[in-house]
Structure 1
């Protein structure tokens, strides 16, 4: 127990003198490194993807070059979809939809990424400066977290995860169909096949590394020893989860690259090399 004058900040010493709680520093922070580079780079990367994906989503063209289909347009569920040989083109919404078919599908992977824990941190810091960086004060006077509309909708992340798994399954089907030629014959492989395979591998890695997936696999278990299978699955997801940020960026780049490759082939700007 302290005796005499108590030097702890924020405590009153005998005689009623209150020690200051913290040093009187006028600067917002004392960081001297280029702390703004990380959030600025994140914002630039996300903005570039938003611009590109918006252009491609509204383009409504050059998204199918047999046997390749852009991941932005699969599954194609509108009446105005380009006919695909065996691809995931299902007329589920009727002829009333006249806009790009991509707008009906991108809401699910987009919702999954927007509500992702890592992406929330990324665009909160990059676009809203909430907070700008570690040890840098937040410029906003009020902070309510994710308890109010619209940020309370971030809690829909788990439900978007279920839809993301379905979309990833369909894109896996598209990658298998890429082992055909333009006439639908099996046993062929081109550069586009490798592009779609790499993309779906990264999409699955990112999807399974999700925090919600980790909780679904191993959450609410009182004793892992009684659930050895789920424990092994939880361990695998946990290892992926440790690379969630890297997988988020890698899969974001790969899905844009896959779409751009299909665009080049479909528009005639590039001939797909066939290996066999």
Structure 2
């Protein structure tokens, strides 16, 4: 039988204190999980509604297409919105027009390392804060369904790169004026800023960092990949900020295009 551990004076240590309270913290530890839940909920509700309403998502005069409807490749799309052509016929109302991209973008965001931490703590309360016990009796990690799907994040990253490239093409099209000549408006700047930030969020991903510098034993033998890894690593330290900023820019971009497309406001034109 193992001998009990003794203190400096030779007496056994006291038993662990029995604390009935969930936590002894007296600060507002619940505020951060609450704000995270509210922020994610606002985006999910807004994005869901806008993805299914099928109105005011395309400004034909300035070639503005909201990212919630890109790419629009069905016959259900309004004329001009199908930048990549029409691939499928009419879609029922319960299928979003951006059905080709939204599932992969959702998978990329849901399996993102930062978003995992955000909704694990705020929604699943696992745990909600430091020194606060979680309500779950067992923890199996990401080894069983459904959380084992989180390991597919690296594959969703490649799809996100493709979709960000499509968004970039949409932004380039937004520089076309009414008569096919070069044009620049406030909507063009908003779309461009959103695409730049989406790229920043995508390439600052942990999976991108692994792609650029993972499995290298000697950086000196791979100077190009080392330089790329260095740049991505710098962005990676801001991955959380990009994750939240892009939620805001996506809403802002869609909302502005909706206002212009519906005739509520006119686009502020700077050139043409």
Calculate the TM-score normalised by the size of structure 1.
0.90
1:275 is paired with a residue of what secondary structure? Answer: strand
2:250 aligns with 255
Q: 2:237 aligns with which of 229, 238, 242?
A: 242
CA 1:237–1:19: 2 relative to 1, 3 Å: same
1:52 aligns with 2:46: yes
1:180 is paired with a residue of what secondary structure? Answer: coil
RMSD: 2.2
1:27 aligns with 21
CA distance in 1, matches of 2:181, 2:15: 73
Q: Is contact 1:178–1:193 with CA below 8 Å preserved after alignment?
A: yes
1:265 aligns with 2:226: no
CA distance in 2, matches of 1:58, 1:83: 18
CA 1:21–1:166: 2 relative to 1, 3 Å: farther
Q: Give 1:1-276 correspondences, 5 Å limit.
A: 6-7=6-7, 19-20=13-14, 22-66=16-60, 67-84=63-80, 88-95=83-90, 99-183=95-179, 185-276=180-271
CA 1:170–1:18: 2 relative to 1, 3 Å: same
C-alpha displacement of 1:101: 0.6
CA 1:5–1:269: 2 relative to 1, 3 Å: closer
CA distance in 1, matches of 2:158, 2:91: 27
2:69 is paired with a residue of what secondary structure? Answer: coil
1:72 is paired with a residue of what secondary structure? Answer: helix
C-alpha displacement of 1:23: 3.0
1:231-265 per-position Cα deviation (integer Å, ceiling 9, x unaligned): 11001000000000000000111011111111111
Q: Which runs of 4+ in 1 moved over 6 A?
A: none
Q: Is contact 1:83–1:89 with CA below 8 Å preserved after alignment?
A: no
CA distance in 1, matches of 2:75, 2:150: 32
CA distance in 2, matches of 1:123, 1:182: 44
1:29-61 per-position Cα deviation (integer Å, ceiling 9, x unaligned): 221111111010000000000110011011012
Q: Which runs of 5 or more structure 2 residues have no equivalent in the other structure?
A: none
